[in-house]
Structures are given as C-alpha cells and as structure tokens.
Amino acid sequence: MRGSLDQLAAFVAVARERSFTAAAAKLNVSQSALSHTIRELEERLGVRVLTRTTRNVSPTEAGERLLRNVGPRLDEIDSEVQAVREFRDKPAGTVRITATEFAIESLLLPKLAPVLKKYPDINVEMIVDYGLTDIVAERYDAGVRSGEQVAKDMIAVRIGPDMRMAVVGAPSYFKTRAPPRRPQELVEHNCINLRLPTHGNLYAWEFEKGGRVLRVRVDGQLTFNATTQLLNAALAGCGLAYVPEGLVQQHIERGRLARVLPDWCQPFSGYHLFYPSRRQPPSAFSLILDALRHAPRKMG
C-alpha cells in the first residue's frame, strides 16, 4: 500500500507540474527514478496515465480522472499528517492565503504581525489576486473576499467591518470636468479601470440607492490589475477611480482627492476569510484564524 501511495503522489506531482523536471525537483528525487515510478504505476494499472512529448507532459483521459479524484485526497492526507506533526511544542508550517492588496495591507499584515513575532516557525504566504480563485484547485489554505462572494461550501469567518466603495478624482481632474451627479454620467468621464486577472474582464462599478442597483461599465485611458495603481493614477489627475473607502480616506481628508456619488455607495459585508469545510485546520492555521477574526467594537 505504501508503494501505491508513493506512485500516486509521483503521478499527481508530474500531472500538476506538467514536467518531470519540475516534479522531480519538488519531490527531491531524480528524473530517472521518477520516470521509473510512473512506469510502475502504469504497469500496475494497465493503462497510460501520462502523454509524453519532447516539449511537455500531459495527463491522458484516464490520467485526468485519476488526477481529479485522487489528487484532492492526497492533499487531505498531507494536510492531516502536517496537522499531526504540529502537535509539538511550537506551532509550525506555511499557510498560503490569497487576497486583494487592500485586504492584505489593511487587515492581514496588521493583525498577523504579532503572531509571526510570537511564533517564528509559522510562515505566511500572501498572494494578491482579484479574481474568484478556486483555493482548493490552486492549493491555498484560505482566501479573503467580501461576504457576498464566499462560496456556499466554504467555512467563512468575518475578519473586518462593513465596507464602502468610493469614486474619487484629484482636484486637477475636476478643473475641466463637472463632477458626475448620477452613476450614468460616468460614461462621460475618463475612468480608471480594474481588470480581473482570473477572468480577464473589466470590473463593473456597482452602485445602490433607494433599493435601485446599477452596474456601470466605464471607459477610460488607463487600465490596471491592482488597486495601488488605481490610487496613484487618480492622485496624478488621470481620471476617476472606484476603490475601497478606507484606501482613500486620508487623501480625501487632506484634499488630495475629491469624492463624488457618495450617496450611491452603500455599505456592504466586509472581508471574510474562507477555507474548505472538510478540512481539519492545523494549529498554525488556527492561530492565524483566531488573530484575524473580527471583533466588533462595543458601544459605550
């Protein structure tokens, strides 16, 4: 049985990496030993699971099925083994989280800094992503999204307060353009777009007032895939930006940016950390989860 698991793990590594070289490095074995292991697996199964060419390696139809059904189970086994290993004096391990830039800078970094100082054997990898990434397929431990975007089969834990978006522009921009009074008037403005990397679509600006919901597809000279560039372009007077209120509040207070359409930007459910429900969280992940959990301020 142990040999079978090793063969399956070797196959999953090659199928995911689409390369014997990369998989061998990941598994810390030689390419020849890895090739031998895959041949043994194919002989035992009586079917080819990988198609090899001079340029790449890809799963066959049988291999795709094996990868789809066995890969996640091996991941679960690895996770449980890691969880058992962490029953030591100090929690340890790497936790991979995908989130937006603003979520990382405003919530994750401030809340996790004390944890990392206290537990030096815990590592956190934070990947900026604005798409609706499948965290299981991409092998993340958790993701961060606003509450409405969390998939139903995930456990979601609130890590921040309600949020609002803001439409802003520099005073220099408004010297030659009248501020929009309604979302529909944004089509007459030079708007700075955000492209979602996962799907390649431009992000539609969302507005709500009196129960009326509008999604406006704006146009402009600049398009970015991160909010930092949106902010910098707005500060430079290049156009209007649609960004989280918390990102621009200081600039508004100091007069560097002017806000428009504030009554159309309603509060919405803030950031949530989400992770697969079937998984038993390791101790390192549990510490991070507890540190990020939102504690509402008490009135009075």
Q: Where residue 149 sits, what CATH number does that domain have?
A: 3.40.190.10
The span from the CA of 174 to the CA of 196, in Å, is 28
For residue 206, pLDDT over 90 is answered with: yes
Q: Which of 40, 73, 106 is the last residue of a domain?
A: 73
Q: What angle do CA 27, 29, 33 make, to 5 degrees?
A: 125
180 and 255 share one domain: yes
Structure confidence by residue, pLDDT tens digits, 92-123: 889 999 999 999 999 999 999 999 999 998 99
**Are 170 and 248 contained in the same domain?**
yes
State residue 89's pLDDT score.
56
Copy the structure tokens of residue 294.
């939102």
> For 281-290, what is each residue's pLDDT tens digit?
678 898 999 9
pLDDT at 298 exceeding the cut of 90: no
Q: Are 204 and 286 in the same domain?
A: no
Q: Residue 78: is its pLDDT beyond 90? A: no
pLDDT one-digit tens code per residue, 248-286: 999 999 999 999 999 999 999 899 999 887 666 678 898
Look at residue 278 and give its three-state secondary structure.
coil
Residues 29 and 42 in one domain: yes
Residues 245, 108, single domain; the answer is no
Bridging pattern class, strands 50-52 and 154-158: unpaired
- Same domain, residue pair 198 and 227: yes
Q: Is 69 helix (H, G, I), strand (E, B) or coil?
A: helix
In a domain, 36, yes or no: yes
Structure tokens at 155: 């456990």
Beta carbons of 99 and 143 less than 8 angstroms apart: yes
Nearest residue to 237 (alpha-carbon basis) of 174, 195, 166 = 174
Same domain, 252 and 288: no
- Which pLDDT does position 90 carry in this prediction? 72
Q: Is residue 44 part of a domain?
A: yes
Domain containing residue 121: 93-160+270-292
pLDDT at 297 over 90: no
Rg (CA), the chain: 24
Name the residue type at position 249. Answer: Q
Residue 80 pLDDT > 80: no
Q: What's the structural domain count of the chain?
A: 3
Same domain, 155 and 282: yes
Residue 201 belongs to domain with CATH number: 3.40.190.290
What's the mean pLDDT when you consider all of the chain? 88
Whether residue 57 sits in one domain with residue 98: no
Q: Are residues 122 and 246 in the same domain?
A: no
**Does a structural domain hold residue 40?**
yes
Flag whether 110 is in a domain.
yes
Residue 297 lies in a domain: no
3-state secondary structure of 113: helix
Both 67 and 130 in one domain: the answer is no
30 and 150 in a common domain: no
Q: Which residue has the tokens 């083994």?
A: 81
Read off the pLDDT band of 183 (50, 70, 90): very high
Would residue 199 count as lying in a domain? yes
Asked, for residue 231, whether it belongs to a domain, the answer is: yes
**Does residue 82 form part of some domain?**
no
